[in-house]
Structure 1
Amino acid sequence: MAKRLDRRFLDNRLGVVAVEFAFVGPALFLVLFGIICFGLVFGVYNSVQQLAAESARASVSGLSATERDQLAKNYVTKNVGVYGMLDPQKLSVATNSQGGTFQVTLSYDMSASPAFKLYNVLASASPTITRSAAVQNGGY
């Protein structure tokens, strides 16, 4: 009789899927959350770069370094809301006029972002994103 019980127990396949998912599930969720976090962090990197490039282009119409500086900062202030991933309080703007070029540098602090905290577990990246864009001054 004991042999018959053992045979029925060995032939029973009801819990196989649950056991397989217990092995595969954590790796699947780790990869899924890694993709989501990387996408969010990459979106912020792209937004900061795009905003820097657009503010540098907006400064071209200035006649002096002071006017270009003001145009670039005004552009960033007015248009940072267009980028849903950026918090205006965590963004800083610096400009530099040297020789025949005008450079806009944006720095964004992502240290409080939940996506960055999860991403930082997988890859060590700096919480401060710094991106620059430069334009040449006119031919005057």
Structure 2
Amino acid sequence: MRTMPTTTAWLVSITLMAGVAATSWYLGDQAAVTVAKIAIVPLYLLATKGLRAYLQNSSLEDADLKAFMRFQFSEAALLAAFVVVVAAHANSAASRMVMDFVWIAALTGGTLTAAAWLRQRRQNSAK
């Protein structure tokens, strides 16, 4: 598993927190809701790290398509949940939020799976 330098990790975290704060401000959220949404950022980053540790027992280069799909769709679902929570507004309908989650997860998971599969195929043909 790759690690990033501490300063880069802090920069990514702070930048993402600032983006969430700006989004929350743009949506007109109250201060308490804005703080709650900002507090989700470290949880999201920790969850992505944990997902990699949990589902990537071995290198994905050696994994089959089923393992690729399981990892990529899990990562996409985590991203979709993060986006839906950050973009939630007081007047958001629950059914709309569920549909947004499904579409984001499906499109992102499919795209990530296709990209990983193409990358693996290109690496295998280069060997």
Same fold (TM over 0.5): no
Which structure dedicates a bigger proportion of its chain to helix? Answer: 2
Give me the TM-score of the superposition, normalised by structure 2: 0.31
User: Which protein is bigger by CA-based radius of gyration?
Assistant: 1
Give me the TM-score of the superposition, normalised by structure 1: 0.29
